[in-house]
Structure 1
């Protein structure tokens, strides 16, 4: 039997006009006093307002002098709620007739849960000490989650609970809120199936009609694999060799990421770094660090992988060298091309060619061509490579131009008059590359030339004779060609 809405009538009978009480149920003539409570028990929301009402009767010859409501009593002493500091400004007494009374309590608190009774006095008696009144239960709303721990993709149920059934609204409509924003669901249970990471947040509920009386917020935590894993680079913009660069791996995961793994892609392979931190730091980055990088984030559930990010390390020219178009001997009259090569990022945008010990540049461009090369082109050449990050000179390369003997000539020592019996030396000189290998000496006799057996660069007359008078010349041979000198005349004087 549900007693919550059952009225209770308590009566007393006056005996001989003395304040002695005999309690019976019902009404006994005009000599009884009774109080009937509208509800035996009431369940109301915390923060709301409740009306606890009753009806009372008394003999017509009794004049009521005082009415009050109370909730505490000790040894026959009661405290009027309107005077109780705990209820200050929260209680009001109302009546519509002289036989009813209503206790209104606003801003209900859980400690207001107790039994409330009505008391009235007449000039002859008092009513209301130990009689049963109305029991008030104040309940807050509570959000319960099942299960308490949930992973993305599972089902979770959020239930809005009260400790008792609301008296005024036993089957209420419910309002759900997420992060303070109202949801459309109006059931006491909010089912998320399947739950996603976007469902995570703080939830509360309220009873429709009492929208301001929210339950405490309950946080729904959804575990999920790492997602949105990405790599960022700092500083942004161009990366110059020698600077400090930091790669940062970011990932949305619950529980948070426990371990990171960094990879560099080399062709079709990925090389793992030993670093397990969210940052990969290059304190003085090298050009060899150029390449694609990605990270993996693991949170104990699964692993999330980022897209690759490309590091393009800029640097000035390095490893500069010069090559020639001819791999063998360079002979006078050939054409030769010198090519400058350099490793640089961005590529070299300016090449300049120099010949050693020559101040002004010889040419510009990655290649320098010498057509119909001559002996004067022989020497050391180097190039200068330049981009926006620096410039560098190559090591010199020697261009060795080979040619037959030229400028072949004969000189005589001592100069001046030659006297018979003196010592005279003829010297043959010639410019040749490779150097002269063999000399041949000739003396003109008439229209003929007589060859000496000497193949040295000098023809020596230790005691020259008058018969040595005549014209002499030499030939120089370097394996390629022969060069002939002009004739020199020796006039030997007799003493």
Structure 2
């Protein structure tokens, strides 16, 4: 019936504010007839009288009536008879602890009986302000924002209180004080980010009145969980030692909450062992590296700074590495690197080629920017440091190069006649590795592959062209040679026009005409003709129509030219067809529409003539023909479009009208396997057994 807090706290001398609101579902409706509050009263410790069927008690407030004399001047009704039923009592006394009840009686025009109820609130009036309640997490985590709430079940505007936080001395905490009128609570929220320094600190919330006379407080001890701090790796006796000395590693942590549960030791990022200490005898490069440790608790794992431990020894495992591809080609950059294990690192390098010292070469790398064939040989190095030196095994540097001085020669006389035997010679000066294959090309197209450097063939017209050869090992060399033509130059011949597509051409499609011929030298320009008239600005081998129109129909021919002469091709006809469109599936009784589509016309089309089975059917001014589908309409249709200049006929289109039902003595399928015989007016029915197949005759 009403919305009130379950309990409130106050103390002697303070005031009590009871927030109260009527529930909208009972007092506010959308109808024109609204309920009416006939009786409203506040009681202290109300008691129900079963004989009178009414509540009695100390009257704090009664609508349009007197109240108990002990509360004169101390009670204010803060509400109304519409939404709010709040009550405030000032200067509370200790004996005013108990149940505070709101009695309401409501009548409704649509209900005969009155609605009655009582809402109770438990109020505890204490001698002094009670300690506020602190709501805090069980534990806090370092660097994770936290909220702590200080609250008390008290709120009264005429006797305000302050809730103050004490005990957090660092950072910039945020405070948010709020008095929630609907709940009757006063709270202060502290937002802060805990640090490890806060662990074990006392955080206090103090309650005080404005006059500063009365106060109370509550305290919580902060339990802040934090990761291990100041994790360090200690090395004994030193970070730089010689082989054979014993080393001891120890991982230490200054503080953590909870305590460290696990220690781990690492070398070069790889786990050595789990444990706080490690002792071993230093052995050369096996123990040289970067060391660190990790301390872990349930909060986080913290790594120590890395320490470099150097175990000093003379160079060993020296070797020469080829830093480029294993196959070394002439003219490329070649780098030889002298690698070894040494501590301290090698400071000087001596290089040898074929057991002879390479002068002025003391660096780790021996570099050839453009290596030559005469620099091949056996190479090794000697690295040195302050402790000693070492000698590497030798490696062989073999420099490869492609075939050199490749030449293509014609072994025949310069004048070649048809039927002569042509001999070509592809000679190679030198090669490393040796030549394994010869590839022959004619007019830049691969012609043949041979293992020998000689190519022979009989001279024919088809063999005329430009020849070259390629001698291959792992590399290749290209030597072109222009063999020229076997025959004297000639004008184009066998000219003809290729049509794509070469069959049915519909308007709007792409059509390509290509002019082909035989010529020596090749044709350099082309002239196109339509209906015997030259087409200007058309000089390419192809004549292209991206969206062809009927007015582009006609006779086409081409004339290719070279430096000797020209040749004229036979004519090719292009007939652009008119399109006749119709529905694909026509049932008896449907409305059929035929569309005679014309791409272009100048002047416009003035008449359409329609034909059925090659006989004139109808003349119209529109390009559509509409008729109902019957058996008699089945046939082949075509149309002719005419203007003042000429006309053009479309191809035939077959219209097939399918049967939809039977009008005469035929079988008609009815539900439940029944069939009817005779005209539809006679409803004679005969029952048949179920059938598997039915044939429709039209």
Please identify the structure whose Cα radius of gyration is greater.
Answer: 1
TM-score for both structures, normalised by structure 2: 0.27
- Comparing both chains, which one has the higher relative contact order based on Cα–Cα distances under 8 Å and sequence gaps of 6 or more? 1
TM-score for both structures, normalised by structure 1: 0.36
